[in-house]
């Protein structure tokens, strides 16, 4: 039983058809001058040499084009990359906000403790009256 293939999406199909069309175009570009050379000279070997010469030049150009095309990110990939970059930045900012909130809580707690310690040193809390804190 053959291994199941993953389903191909439209983008893969379009890319494959485009690549195949470019290769057929390359063949046509190479065959046309070769056929003209055979027609003018009557020698098949001249046609073969012309075909190979055009293939060397046009094939190199197509190879460079394909490499640039593969290196260029697609618009969908750019949107995805931008979305993930925005998500990372939001997470970083949320972390920074959380850090600021934690620091504010820590400072408030420290101030509360200092105020409490100052009241303890001054002789009592506010609940006690001026008489020293004893009720009669």
What is the CA 39 to chain-centroid distance, rounded? 53
Q: What is the CA radius of gyration of the chain?
A: 39
The answer to whether position 128 is within a domain reads no
For each of the chain's 136 residues, which pLDDT tens digit applies? Answer: 466 666 667 778 888 898 899 999 999 999 999 999 999 999 999 999 999 999 999 999 999 998 888 887 666 666 676 677 777 888 877 877 888 888 888 989 999 999 988 888 887 555 555 555 555 5
Output the pLDDT for position 21. Answer: 93
Does 60 share its domain with 83? no
Residues 68, 80, single domain; the answer is no
Cβ–Cβ under 8 Å, residues 30 and 48: no
Tell me the residue range of the domain where 95 lies: 76-121
Residues 6+ apart with CB under 8 A from 74: 11
Question: What's the rounded Cα separation, in Å, for the pair 68 and 7?
Answer: 27
Do 25 and 39 fall into the same domain? yes
Answer yes or no: do 80 and 58 share one domain.
no
């Amino acid at each position: 039983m053959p291994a199941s293939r993953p389903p191909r999406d439209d983008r893969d199909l379009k890319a494959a058809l485009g690549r195949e069309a470019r290769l057929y175009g390359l063949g046509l570009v190479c065959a046309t001058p070769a056929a003209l050379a055979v027609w003018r000279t009557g020698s098949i070997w001249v046609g073969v040499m012309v075909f190979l010469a055009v293939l060397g030049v046009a094939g190199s150009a197509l190879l460079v084009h394909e490499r640039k095309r593969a290196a260029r990110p697609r618009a969908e990939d750019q949107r995805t990359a931008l979305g993930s970059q925005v998500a990372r930045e939001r997470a970083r900012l949320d972390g920074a906000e959380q850090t600021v909130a934690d620091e504010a809580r820590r400072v408030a707690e420290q101030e509360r403790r200092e105020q409490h310690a100052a009241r303890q040193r001054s002789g009592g809390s506010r609940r006690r009256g001026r008489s020293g804190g004893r009720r009669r």
